[in-house]
Amino acid sequence: MKDKQPKNQIPDYIKPALQLFPDAVRLAITDAIRRTSPQLAQNVTDIRLKRRGTSYLSVSCGEGFADKIPIDFRGIMTDKLFADLVFSLCDGSVYACADTLREGYIDLSDGFRCGVCGRASVKNGAISEVHDIDSVCIRVPRAVPGASGLVWEMLRDGGFRDSVLVYSPPGTGKTTLLRDLIIKLAGAGLPVSVIDSRGELAACGAYDSGADFFRGYPKAEGMVSAVRSMSPLYIVCDELGGRADAEAVLYARSCGVYTIASAHGGSVDELLLRPELRDLIRASVFSLIVGIRRAPGSREFDFTVTRHNELLKAAQ
Amino acid sequence: MNVYIYKAAGAALLLIGGAILLSQSASDGTQKLARAKEALRLIRYTAESIEYRRATVPEILMGFRTADELFQNLCRRAAATSLTSALAACGSELFDSGTLSIMEEFAAELGRGYEKSQLELCSITSSRLKERIEVLEKTLPERRRLERTICLFIILTVIIILL
């Protein structure tokens, strides 16, 4: 007689995400988690659902996704069920999500990022509407207390007078680190404004930390609004990119406000390939650039710190 | 003597029963017409909320105010679940069959498209409800005439029984 395979508990950090789905979908996902290895079950980062093809849970192993847990939707996932799933993710109001759908995501509550893709209607060269959504990717946020580690210590030792740029490839944990910094900075009584364009930074207790959240604001407009209205010492934003964002960071700095931001990149050299980041470095906005890496299966970061004077040499 | 007592009791039961049925029917017709008008007001409110505020469907339903408590309960229930399931649960108590059918078709499409198609949906539903209200307003006097005729019939029956 075969031994029964032990069934895993559903990790606490995934449970809120499961409430987003219709019952049939939720049951299939929980079944997949219960039946997989405990190590995989504890490291789920994304829930990827597809109308056609195999749906699965992504498992993070540091840089990039090393594994996945297939979800068995045979006989369950129909076109109607998938359409109902997307409809419920839009809170029963597709029209209210039109702006974010054009940019490829749905703004969910509680810090979940829901990426979507389907068929675009294009008008005058720009996406006007997205129809027949057939792929959904929900990033599951996870609190890692102390994730900011060395970055927090450097800020504290510097008397909270440093702007910081955190970089890494996608999926390493920049957003997790920023959330931990928000909680620590606000907890230390410092006025912090968070430009939360996609609703991800508000998750895992950051929203209740005492920081001021500009939810859904485009980054550049949010930073300018924050400087003018909330008198922050720090502005925190995720995924800095584009000329407008860089100008807003410069504006904030000229008003005495420090910025903590993240950017995609594998090294300082890669960051310097982007003109807007290179210009910010030359303008001495960021006194610290911190690269983060994570060993496979680990939740602790390895930090690579590049200081201002080194940055200037590299940027020339 | 006993026969008269039984006849009187039967006549009284007929009169009381008839009076209750007729009064309920009269107020029922008036209420259903009033609720059809409230439904039209809800559709217009929905269109304005979508066009000027891009409010979500739950926000719209929670924000709609009416003095009709049953209608308000329908909106609250719909905000928590969906308009489709709220209508399935209590729509037949509120609306006549024609108005209910229009609202069910509206509920099936509400929220499922972009702004332009949703405003078109509201516009079409408004037109249909206006037509339905006109029909109800025309048939209400006829219904009342029918009720008066039934009332007369009951009275005559009672008299015949008593004779």
Check residue A120 and give its pLDDT.
Answer: 94
Q: Which residue shows structure tokens 């407008």?
A: A244
Comparing alpha-carbon positions, the chain B residue that sits nearest to A93 is B111
CA distance A181 to A237: 11
- Residues 50-69 of chain B with CB under 8 A from chain A are 50, 54-58
Which class for B106: exposed (0-12), middle (13-18), buried (19 or more C-beta within 10 A)? Answer: buried
CA distance A79 to B75: 29
Rounded mean pLDDT, A216-226: 93
Flag whether pLDDT at B1 surpasses 70.
no
Tell me: the pLDDT tens digits for A227-285?
A: 999 999 999 999 887 899 999 999 999 999 999 999 988 888 888 889 988 888 888 89
Check residue A235 and give its pLDDT.
Answer: 97
The answer to whether A132 faces chain B, any CB pair under 8 Å, is no
pLDDT range class, residue A3, cuts 50, 70, 90: very low
Contact A84, A22 (CB under 8 A): yes
Tell me: the pLDDT tens digits for A99-122?
A: 999 999 998 866 788 999 999 999
Check residue A234 and give its pLDDT.
Answer: 97
Using a CB-CB distance cutoff of 8 angstroms, which residues of chain A are in contact with residue B114? 94-95, 98, 129
The answer to whether A211 faces chain B, any CB pair under 8 Å, is no
pLDDT range class, residue A312, cuts 50, 70, 90: low
Contact B61, B81 (CB under 8 A): no
Asked if B55 and A129 come within 8 Å (Cβ–Cβ), the reply is no
Q: Any idea which of A136-150, A228-242, B59-73, B92-106 has the lowest mean pLDDT?
A: A136-150
Q: Any idea which of A40-49, A301-310, B105-114 has the lowest mean pLDDT?
A: A301-310
Asked if A95 and B58 come within 8 Å (Cβ–Cβ), the reply is no
Check residue A192 and give its pLDDT.
Answer: 97
Check residue A301 and give its pLDDT.
Answer: 80
Same fold, A15-139 and A149-315: no
CA distance A25 to A110: 20
Q: What is the CATH number of domain A15-139?
A: 3.30.450.90
Check residue B5 and give its pLDDT.
Answer: 81
pLDDT range class, residue A173, cuts 50, 70, 90: confident
pLDDT range class, residue A50, cuts 50, 70, 90: very high
Any idea where the domains of chain A sit in the sequence? 15-139, 149-315
The answer to whether A96 faces chain B, any CB pair under 8 Å, is yes
Q: What is the CATH number of domain A149-315?
A: 3.40.50.300
Radius of gyration of chain A (CA): 21
Tell me: the pLDDT tens digits for B29-77?
A: 888 999 999 999 999 999 999 999 999 999 999 999 999 999 999 999 9
Rounded mean pLDDT, A217-226: 94
B82-87 LR contacts (CB < 8 Å, sep 24+): B82/A92, B82/B107, B83/B57, B83/B107, B83/B110, B84/B108
Q: Which parts of chain A fold into alpha helices (H)? A: 15-18, 23-35, 38-41, 79-89, 98-102, 149-157, 174-187, 219-229, 243-254, 268-272, 275-282, 308-315
Q: Report the 10 Å Cβ neighbour count for B32.
A: 19
CA distance A235 to A227: 8
- Chain mean position to CA A87: 23
CA distance B2 to A223: 94
Structure tokens at B82: 């969906």
Comparing alpha-carbon positions, the chain B residue that sits nearest to A95 is B114
Contact A169, A265 (CB under 8 A): yes
Asked if B114 and A90 come within 8 Å (Cβ–Cβ), the reply is no
Flag whether pLDDT at A61 surpasses 80.
no
Percentage of chain A lying above the pLDDT 70 cut: 91
CA distance B84 to A13: 33
Amino acid in the structure at residue B36: A
Nearest to A87 among B55, B112, B118 (CB): B112
CA distance A188 to A165: 20
- Mean pLDDT across chain A, nearest whole number? 87
Of A130 and A200, more confident: A130
CA distance A175 to A237: 9
- Mean pLDDT across chain B, nearest whole number? 89
Using a CB-CB distance cutoff of 8 angstroms, which residues of chain A are in contact with residue B112? 87, 94
Of B125 and B4, more confident: B125
Check residue A1 and give its pLDDT.
Answer: 41
Structure tokens at B22: 């007729």
Structure tokens at A248: 């807003």
Check residue B157 and give its pLDDT.
Answer: 80
Asked if B82 and A87 come within 8 Å (Cβ–Cβ), the reply is no
Amino acid in the structure at residue A304: T
Using alpha carbons, select from A291, A290, A284 the residue that is nearest to residue A308. Answer: A284
pLDDT range class, residue B162, cuts 50, 70, 90: confident
CA distance A144 to A208: 16
Q: Which strand (E) or helix (H) includes residue A147?
A: none
